[in-house]
Structures are given as C-alpha cells and as structure tokens.
Amino acid sequence: MKHLLASILEALQHCRIYAASIFLTYCLACLIGILMSHYGNEFALSQRDKIVGAATANDKASINYQEGNNFEAALFDCAGNLFFAAVPQTALGFGIVFPYFSVTYQGWIGGIVSVDNSHQTRFKNFKASSYYFIVLLLQFIPFSLSIGVGIKCGIDSYRYNSTVSWKIWNYRIPKTSLKDLGCVYLVSIPLFFFASCFEFLSSWNI
C-alpha cells in the first residue's frame, strides 16, 4: 500500500504542469461561457438550450434524475464522464495539443449552463452559486488529471520514439508513462464518482 501511494504521488508530480494547463483552460473557457450567457449572447443561449434539451430527452443521468432516481443518475453521470469524455480525451493527449480544443469547448459549455431555462442567472443566492462552482471544480479536477497525464504520455512517447525509430511497427509507449497513466486514473475514478454524487445527491442542488 505504501509503495502504491508513493507511485501515485510520483505520477501526480510528473503530470502536474500539464494538468494545471488543462485546468486553466477549463476555467478560462468557462468564464467566457458565463459572460456570454449572462450578457445575453444569442449564440451562447441557443447552444445552451439545444444542449440542455438534448440531455433532458436522451441523457440517462438526466432522465433518471427527473424520475427521482438520484443515485442511478449519479452512476450514469460518472460512467459518462469517465468513458465518453475523460478516456477519449486522455487518448487525444497523445497528440499533445488536441485536448485543448475539446477542453475549451467542454469548459465553455460549463459556462453557458450558468443560466436556467428562462435564461436567468443561476447565481441567485450563495447556496445556488456555491453549488454551481463546486460541481464545476469537482469535475474539472479529475478531468484535468486524466487529460494531463495523457498529454504527459504523448510527450514522453514523442521523445522516446524520436531517439529510437518512428517506424510504426517500432512505435513504443514508455512503460513509466503507462504506469503514471494507471496511477493517475486510480485517483481520477473515485474523484469522478464523488463529483457525480455531489451533483445529484447534494441537498444544495435546488
């Protein structure tokens, strides 16, 4: 257990710069989304309505939440964030720059949903505002870690194959990078679960 903990801390240390850059990208994109939606930008508001409408009709997490199945909603939300968002973006990290585009869009969406269906602010009081920002923070952290370690793996692989060979049959991902990847996901998975549980089970969700 002590060795595993040391490996996890080492992996987090290795990817900290890349994870921090992803987190900053999330925050900046989210801020832009908040400003656009609160200042009545028609494109932002129309995209907000389109995305929320599609989620309400088709997203299993949203459907379960509407039916009062809050824990099931949290499970579906966690699975969706992990398998359909984090893992693909971790893979994009091997392209180093590609995740920044998807992260910018994802963060922007987090910003434009800061208004409700009537396009009124969700920052009506301290409790509502805190809930919104805590949910974003709890999601941005595991996303930043899982995507950051993907970028770290991409950079490590580029450096390794540059000194060995770029022939596709000789392409290798350093074992140390894969180890870091696994260790970071050991942290990210429970963080995703906690974020989803807070979002759907918290009494602050009003």
The whole-model pTM stands at: 0.94
pLDDT in tens, 94-142: 999 999 999 999 999 999 999 999 999 999 999 999 999 999 999 999 9
Per-residue pLDDT at 205 exceeds 90:
no
As a whole-number percent, the residues of the chain with pLDDT over 90 amount to 87
For residue 161, what pLDDT is reported? 85
Residue reference for tokens 């918290």 = 202
pLDDT in tens, 21-65: 999 999 999 999 999 999 999 999 999 999 999 999 999 999 999
Q: Which two tokens stand for residue 123?
A: 């920052």
Q: Nearest-5° angle of CA 194, CA 196, CA 33? A: 120
126-155 burial string, b = 16+ CB within 10 Å, else e?
A: eebeebbeebbebbbbbbbbbbbbbbbbbb
User: Could you give the CA distance from residue 148 to residue 89 in angstroms, rounded to a whole number?
Assistant: 9
pLDDT band at 167 (very low <50, low <70, confident <90, very high): low
Per-residue pLDDT at 169 exceeds 70:
no
